[in-house]
């Protein structure tokens, strides 16, 4: 970059709010040294289970500048997915999958944010990321002052809780950067205690014991006998439901009665109906055979 392009953080946050984001922060790109150490230990313990892709592109995971030559700063944004109503009986689906796939929704808003900023600052250059590249969304959201990393390794925002999806822009600006906020979990272990399989450890979440991993990432024909899905057939919200910072979060995502009806009937859906139910949602990550496997598991069939 020939000359530094300064854009005030207050301006960026104002534009992000206009684009529909619930929170925004800005941080200088740097190596996430502490996270690098913890992540290396997590991999050493085999806690990534069959997710071998998490062992790749490590340099990019710890510094976005390795992803983007213009990477001087990171703009992190949050979009709440706390729904207006929730499933109250099995089969349960993680709440982030109730509506349209967040990858699509956030990416559209990020492109709108880029266009908006470029209207006033034509030299602004940015690349959007939404959980689709080896960049640590949660760690950068924390670095941008948008929350802290809870014991369940999720980002916790003081007002939005952990019911948030994260996106970021790696960009060519300097700004008045946000400060990281203190971790407010303290001695609380509610998320740790709530996990039915003991997946939450001092070294992070052990995917080998995690319902979210087994219902989505695990492609095996059968799930381990000692894994208790607690009625979940896609993802898992158990540790989030236990978190006191999630107790009084105001719903920001309107879920229609029609959509709730579809989700409630997913366990009896044939393959054609299943494809209709998951279309344009995060549930497109699993096949019908995985759904049936997960449903059988919740009914204690092995």
* pLDDT for res 3: 64
- Residue 67: the pLDDT is 82
- Write out the chain's pLDDT in tens, 302 residues: 446 899 999 999 999 999 999 999 999 999 999 999 999 999 999 999 999 999 999 988 898 888 887 789 999 999 999 999 999 999 999 999 999 999 999 999 999 999 999 999 999 999 999 987 899 999 999 999 999 999 999 999 999 999 999 999 999 999 999 999 999 999 999 999 999 999 999 999 999 999 999 999 999 999 999 999 999 999 999 999 999 999 999 999 999 999 999 999 999 999 999 999 999 999 999 999 999 999 999 987 54
Annotated catalytic residue: which of 115, 131, 267, 296? Answer: 131
Q: What is the pLDDT of residues 130-147, one digit of tens each?
A: 987 899 999 999 999 999
- Give the bridge partners for 168, in sequence order: 76, 129
Residue 136's pLDDT is 93
Examine the residue annotation and report whether 131 is marked as an active-site residue of this protein.
yes
Cβ(293)–Cβ(223) below 8 Å: yes
Q: What CA–CA distances, in Å, run from 42 to 46, 55, 202, 249?
A: 7, 10, 10, 31
Q: What share of the chain is helix, strand, coil (3-state, %, to 5)?
A: 40, 15, 45
Quick one: tokens of 86?
Answer: 């929730």
Q: Report the pLDDT value the prediction gives residue 70, as an integer from 0 to 100.
A: 77
Respond yes or no on whether the N-terminal peptide bond of residue 15 is cis (omega within 30° of 0): no
């Amino acid at each position: 970059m020939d000359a530094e392009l300064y854009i005030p953080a207050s301006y960026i946050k104002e534009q992000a709010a206009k684009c529909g984001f619930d929170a925004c922060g800005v941080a200088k790109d740097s190596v996430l040294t502490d996270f690098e150490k913890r992540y290396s230990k997590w991999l050493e313990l085999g806690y990534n289970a069959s997710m071998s892709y998490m062992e790749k592109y490590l340099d990019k995971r710890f510094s976005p500048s390795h992803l983007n030559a213009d990477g001087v700063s990171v703009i992190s944004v949050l979009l709440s997915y706390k729904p207006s109503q929730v499933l109250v009986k099995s089969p349960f689906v993680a709440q982030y999958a109730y509506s349209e796939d967040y990858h699509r929704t956030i990416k559209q808003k990020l492109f709108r944010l880029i266009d908006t900023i470029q209207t006033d600052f034509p030299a602004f250059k940015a690349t959007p990321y939404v959980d689709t590249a080896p960049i640590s969304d949660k760690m950068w959201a924390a670095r941008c002052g948008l929350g802290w990393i809870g014991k369940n390794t999720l980002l916790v925002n003081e007002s939005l809780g952990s019911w948030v999806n994260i996106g970021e822009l790696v960009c060519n600006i300097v700004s008045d950067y946000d400060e990281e906020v203190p971790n407010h979990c303290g001695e609380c272990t509610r998320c740790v205690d709530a996990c039915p399989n003991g997946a939450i450890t001092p070294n992070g979440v052990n995917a080998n014991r995690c319902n979210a991993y087994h219902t989505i990432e695990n492609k095996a024909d059968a799930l381990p006998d000692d894994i208790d899905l607690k009625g979940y057939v896609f993802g898992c919200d158990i540790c989030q439901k236990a978190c006191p910072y999630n107790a009084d979060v105001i719903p920001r995502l309107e879920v229609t009665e029609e959509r709730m009806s579809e989700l409630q009937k997913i366990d009896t859906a044939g393959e054609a109906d299943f494809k209709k139910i998951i279309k344009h949602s995060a549930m497109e990550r699993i096949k019908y055979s995985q759904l049936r496997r997960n449903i059988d598991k919740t009914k204690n069939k092995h």
